[in-house]
Amino acid sequence: MGNPEKIEAIINMQPPGTTKEVQKLTGRIAALNRFISRSSDKGLPFFKILKKADAFSWNEQCQAAFENLKKYLTSPPLLTKPKPGETLFLYLAISEGHCRKLRPYFQSHPVVVLTNHPLKKILANPNISGRMVKWSIELSEHGIEYQTRPAIKAQPLADFISEMTGAENRQITEWWKIFVDGSATSQGSGAGVIIETPQGDRLQYAIKFNFAASNNEAEYEALIAGGKLALAAGAKHLKAYSDSQLVVNQIKGDYEAKGSKMTKKHSEVENIKEEVLTGDALPSWKDGIEAYLKTGTLPQDPKEARAIRVRAGKFTLIGGELYKRGFSQPYLKCINQDKVEYVLREIHEGSCGNHSGGRALSSKALRQGYFWPTMRKDAMDLVRKCQKCQVHANITHLPATPLQPIQSPCPFDQWGMDIVGKLPRAPGQREYLIVAVDYFSKWVEAEALSKITEKEVMKFAWKNIVCRFGIPRAFVMDNGTQFQGAKLRQWCEELKIKQYYTSVATPQSNGQTEVTNRIILQSLKTRLEEAKGNWVDELPGVLWAYRTTPRRSTRESPFSLVYGTEAVVPVEIGEETLRVQQYEPASNNSERRADLDLIQELRHSANARTTAYKAMMAKAYNSKVRHRGFQVGDLVLRRADATKNLGKLDAKWEGPYQVTEVIGSGTYKLHKMDGKEIPRTWNIANLKKYFA
């Protein structure tokens, strides 16, 4: 088609009155000559005027030619009434170079090739090779339809138009429609659903939710409820309408569903979509391509028809079966959705399967010679739901929740307690060590025990903590039975001491005590040689060294934060320091009183440094966090090494279990699938989502 502006210039032009104006007219005709049939004949009267430049004469013949030219440009010959999505009819390709110059035209329009040669059969022949394969692949990027070209000179125009008319697809799809809207207010949340049947009947539903939900969650719940109601009513082809831009774009795939709640609801909608797409009444993805390759049948929708024409160039029929031309193999067998699970499972866990990952599984299915449009997604879903893959999956070491440092406002306000052992048996059958650490000053108390019982814990807390430093506000303990007895609970309640328990197999929850345990054990190792049973004798020296060593977080020693001055250590006696050499009882007493007056400032400074140190640690820790979480009702797997010692071939995860309560950030209560409750709480670090 010519440039509309150049055509408009000729149409709006007045009859020339001078030779110069005739030259302007012929120049415009020359610019459009490739689009004007027999342009030299139509412009012949104008060229005759230019031959007689001295005697300009605009006669009736010139005027008639001028009017005919305008009429030709305004009413180009048409065989049929124009329709949206104009089709290009290709009668002849002169050469490879000229064809490539017109490539944008062919790519942006459906193309009908009129030929008396069986090009379609030749290019679809599975036995072609060499140059024909090259042309078949290159032409597959265009939506080409091949039609028979009659003997134009011998056939009437009506027969030509009749033969070019393609067959119409009479298949009628009965679409159900659902209109949904969800809303959440301070009084509650609910949804409205309208279902419209293919016959025009309308079903209206009002739904009230018995749980708290945000507006977006209510919109999702409305869509889920509407989809389930429509499926229950017998819908096979479903169109959903919602006024929530977020929900619509997430379902279409334009937006990503973020957050555990939104991801879960998005998955529910995807399950409804899969149920609709795999319904018995819905044709297979192959049907449209097979119908086009066999009979040339296309859908009524122009966009769908063009899509099938473009895709069909990459497929062929061999013995009535649909195959796709591939890059890894010449031909890939196309299979329906009902055969997909069998193919994937056989490759994944069959006699030759090795439970490979999703990407490897889809690639292996491709190399085995199979194809369907959702290979990667289906492979990922199957691997994600595979029971054996889930229980043997690698353990994730990245944290799932941000670090929440424990702050203590003053000395001896909060103590962390833990049991270390078994250690080498010492005199008195002592092989356990109970350790308590003050969260503010880092002061440590420890005692060797022959057995770890509730009575021993109470005795240690009374003698080493309450009688020395007063009644604390809280104890932080693990889930050991010695810390959860009824007598200990009653004793703490009488003294108004709160008890906080860490999650099972999560030592990070009582990190201060765990760090102290490591330091004490390391110090004992370095002091002991062959006589490992002497660790009880070395324990007081280890504790003294710990108490008089500045800690990194406070930059002060626990002794100085408790007593306001540094302790005199043995080295100061062997090689006297200034304060030992110039010691005077009178001045020492006044200096000690001054230290006690200034101890609060020392503690404030140490507390500020501790807060800054913990903030720095939390920042570094939180940079590695990969947020995940569970809701009540979710199925989870639990780390097997949290409850037992594992062998090399044991599964790394056990379960599934169901979440019954969300205690706090990353802490959950579980029960087995038979309803039996699992004691104590579990941290998310020991859990992972289970896909059924």
Residues with Cβ within 8 Å of 224's Cβ and at least 6 positions away in sequence, in order, are 265, 268, 269, 272
pLDDT computed for residue 113 by the predictor? 76
Q: Is the same domain home to 385 and 524?
A: no
Q: Is the same domain home to 225 and 255?
A: yes
Q: Is the same domain home to 260 and 294?
A: no
Distance, in Å, from the CA atom of 637 to the CA atom of 682, rounded to the nearest integer, reads 11
Q: Is residue 53 part of a domain?
A: yes
What is the C-alpha R_g of the chain? Answer: 42
Total domains present in the chain = 6
Q: Is residue 626 part of a domain?
A: no
Nearest to 105 by CA among 143, 78, 77: 143
Q: Is residue 404 part of a domain?
A: no
pLDDT computed for residue 185 by the predictor? 84
Secondary structure of 615-646 in the HEC alphabet? HHHHHHHHCCCCCCCCCCCCEEEEEHHHCCCC
User: Which residue ranges of the chain lie beneath pLDDT 50?
Assistant: 78-82, 92-97, 153-154, 158, 162, 167-171, 277-282, 505
Q: Is the same domain home to 575 and 441?
A: yes
| Strands annotated E in 280-408 | 315-318, 321-325, 331-334, 370-371
State both tokens at 296: 């040339």
Q: Is the same domain home to 454 and 560?
A: yes
Nearest to 178 by CA among 219, 215, 227, 218: 227
Q: Is residue 653 part of a domain?
A: yes
Burial annotation 601-633 (CB, 10 A radius, 16+ → b, else e): ebbeebbebbeebbeeeeeeeeeeeeebbbeee
Residue where a domain stops, chosen among 126, 156, 186: 156
Q: Is the same domain home to 265 and 293?
A: no
Q: Is the same domain home to 450 and 549?
A: yes
Specify the long-range contacts of residues 555-558, CB closer than 8 Å, at least 24 apart: 555/606, 555/609, 556/602, 556/606, 558/438, 558/441, 558/442, 558/443, 558/444
Q: Is the same domain home to 433 and 579?
A: yes
Distance, in Å, from the CA atom of 458 to the CA atom of 330, rounded to the nearest integer, reads 78
Q: Is the same domain home to 17 and 138?
A: no
CATH number at 644 reads 2.30.30.140
Question: What percent of the chain is modeled with pLDDT above 70?
Answer: 83
The answer to pTM > 0.85 is no
Structural domain that includes position 438? 414-599
CATH number at 311 reads 1.10.340.70
CB burial class (10 A; 0-12, 13-18, 19+) of residue 516? Answer: buried
pLDDT computed for residue 56 by the predictor? 73
Q: Is residue 351 part of a domain?
A: yes
pLDDT computed for residue 244 by the predictor? 82
Which helix (H) or strand (E) is 277 found in, with range? helix 260-277
pLDDT computed for residue 334 by the predictor? 92
Q: Distances from the Cα of 216 to the Cαs of 165, 187, 245, 608, in angstroms?
A: 49, 16, 10, 42
Q: Is the same domain home to 469 and 569?
A: yes
State both tokens at 679: 């004691």
Eight-class DSSP state of 78? -
Nearest to 502 by CA among 595, 404, 628: 404
Residue where a domain stops, chosen among 277, 310, 330: 277
Q: Is the same domain home to 199 and 225?
A: yes
Distance, in Å, from the CA atom of 450 to the CA atom of 428, rounded to the nearest integer, reads 7
pLDDT computed for residue 332 by the predictor? 92
Q: Is residue 613 part of a domain?
A: no
Q: Is residue 239 part of a domain?
A: yes
Residue where a domain stops, chosen among 277, 310, 329: 277
Q: Is the same domain home to 127 and 252?
A: no
Which helix (H) or strand (E) is 161 found in, with range? helix 157-164
Q: Is residue 329 part of a domain?
A: yes
